[in-house]
Each structure stands twice: as C-alpha cells, then as structure tokens.
Chain A
Amino acid sequence: MARNIAAIIALVLIVAGGIGLEMYSTHTLGELETRLDKIESNGVFSLEKTEETMAWWKKKTKVLEMFVLHEPLHEIDLALAEIKGAILYEPQDAGIALTKAKTAKEILLERHKLSISNVF
C-alpha cells in the first residue's frame, strides 16, 4: 500500500513538475525574447538594457540550471556578453550578436519542449 502511494506521488510529481517546469521555462524564455527586443530601438543598441537583461538572465539561470542542461543556458550568457562587447567596442556587430542571442534562445526552447521529435 505504501509503495502504491509512493508511486502515485511520484507520478503526480513527474507530470505536475514537468508541466510546471515547461510553463516556467516557456514563460522565462518568452520574457527573454521581449527583453532582447527592447535592446535595439530604431537601430540604436542600449547598453543599459543589455546589462539589465544580463543581470536578469543570471538570476533566472540559477533556477533553470536545476532542470535544463547547463550548456545551452551558458550559450545565451555568452551571446548576451557579445552584445555588450559589441555595443562598447564594435557597434556595427551588435545586430549580429543580438541575432545570435535570439537564435540561442530559440534553440534552447526547441531543444527542450515536449514534442514528438524530441521524444524520439
């Protein structure tokens, strides 16, 4: 009986946890997209917004690292650092760095979402 209860709890935790984490991740990456969009306005890249996004992402990474592979998360770290570096030293490359960050986010989202291609 105790084993059956443990099994039901485990099943509920896996399903609820899986759905909860999926919602959290999707929401977080959606917010990252919004923040990335705000970095550039009319061809001008904001250093302040970039640093804000980096600080925000650092906090979010601490949570995401508990259930997402670390490597793709750190690819976004690197992409954000590239945006900052480009704004400071090579503004003409800032657009490329921003695209890179958005792509890294997309890859992370695709790689971890519940889909037939990911299951198989």
Chain B
Amino acid sequence: MAMLVNALRAVIIYAILILGIRLMGKRQIGEFQPFEFIITLIIAELAAVPMTDISIPILYGLVPIFVIFLMHLAITLISNKSIAFRKVVNGSPQIVINADGIDSSMLKKLNMNVNDLLEAIRVQGYFSIEEVKYAIVETNGKVSVLPNNDASAPSGIPISLIVNAQYVEKNFPLAQIDQKTIDDILKGNNLSLEKVIFMSKKDNGFFLQPYGAKFITVGG
C-alpha cells in the first residue's frame, strides 16, 4: 500500500526539485546538470532514513531510490531524443559577455551578479572584461571563455570601482581615486551612477560598462 504512495511521492518531489533548481538559475549547480544535482542531493538522505531507524521498512528507502533511478534514466533518454525537452530540463548555454561587453539582462536572467561573472572569468585566467571576447554560462553553471586576442592582459589586477550601480568605496584608496573623479569620468561619457553596471580601473585607464550598451574604455 505505502509502496505506490512512496513511488508517486518520489516522482512529484523529484519533478518539483528539478523545477526549483531550474528557477534558481545556474550558479548553484556546479559541475552537474540540474537533474544530476537533484540525485546527489536526495539519494543519500533517502538511504539514511531506513538505515538509522529500524521501525521504518527498508522498502521506504529503496522504492524512492529506484523511482529516482527510473526518472533519471527517462530524462536522459528523452533528453537525447528531444532538443526541446533538453532545453526545458537542462536549460541552454547563455552568452553573458559579448562584443558589447557584459550582458546585464542575461546576468539578471541567470540570477548572477557582476562579481560572480568576474570570479568565473578569473578562474579561467582572465582578469579584465576586455580580455574576453565571449563568455558563455554552460548548462552545468560553468563559464566558458573565448579570449579576445586583440586585448592585452593588464599589468596589475583591475580594481572594481562601481558594481551594480553602486560605488565600491573601499577600493578607492587602492585605486588612488576619489568619488569626484569617478563622477567626472561618468559625466564625460554622458553616464550617471545608476546607468553603470560595472566600472574598473585597469593600469592607467578605466573600463566602463553601462546597462544595455557597449562598454567604454577611458584612457590607458
């Protein structure tokens, strides 16, 4: 009696977890596809419950584990045959840095912020946005980078001055700059703070990335 109830509950919870992970965006996933991530999350828990409590029949752990195995297999099979289904379950790779620089609307869609993106490209060995021609967030949450061979690597680490339309004041002394100078640079480019998703100091120049527009380099 409870066996079928358990099986149906496992199907429902699995489907809801996949939906939840998909809605969370890509940054939480790591190395797995969403449906693989679900399995690692719940299998251990399912096995542990009847293992530690002898008043619970072992079937209560085994049935959901087998159901999840079946769901996994079914999703894998259907994903291999249907691109549309694969897109629904796994999502699709998304370009977050393009010829215009950072795609702020895509970042928002992926539930990522500029710092996440900068960290991801640093992991790939690139310390400034200009060094990257394209950056793609893969379905497993990792970021792939196509380098921009025309751009030179910075001699030092670029210092963030504005992130998500907010001053990063703690970095001003490090960059030997004050807020007025930054405001002047913004004004000189017909920009205001709330229109800038990212600004950094690189060597002797500045990198400015407005929301929804091409990046601007100043000086350097």
Contact = CB atoms under 8 A, between A and B. Distances in A.
Contact of A10 (B12, B59, B66): B66
Interface stretch (A13-21, A32-40, A95-103): A13-21
Contact of A118 (B5, B59, B60): B5
A119 B12 contact: yes
B216 interface: no
A68 B63 CA distance: 13
Interface string A99-120: 0000000000000111100111
A4 interface: yes
Interface size for chain A: under 10, 10 to 19, 20 to 34, or 35 or more residues? 20 to 34
Contacts of B174: none
Contacts of B9: 119
B70 A70 contact: no
A104 to B, nearest CB: 16
A22 B59 CA distance: 14
B1 interface: yes
A11 to B, nearest CB: 6
A71 B55 contact: yes
B56 interface: yes
A65 interface: yes
A66 B57 contact: yes
A21 B70 CA distance: 21
B2 interface: yes
Interface of A: 3-4, 7, 10-11, 13-15, 17-19, 21-22, 25-26, 65-71, 112-115, 118-120
Interface of B: 1-5, 7-9, 12, 54-60, 63, 66-67, 69-70, 73-74
20 contacts: A7-B70, A7-B74, A14-B4, A14-B7, A14-B63, A14-B67, A14-B70, A15-B7, A18-B3, A21-B1, A21-B3, A66-B57, A66-B59, A69-B2, A70-B55, A112-B5, A114-B4, A114-B5, A114-B8, A119-B8
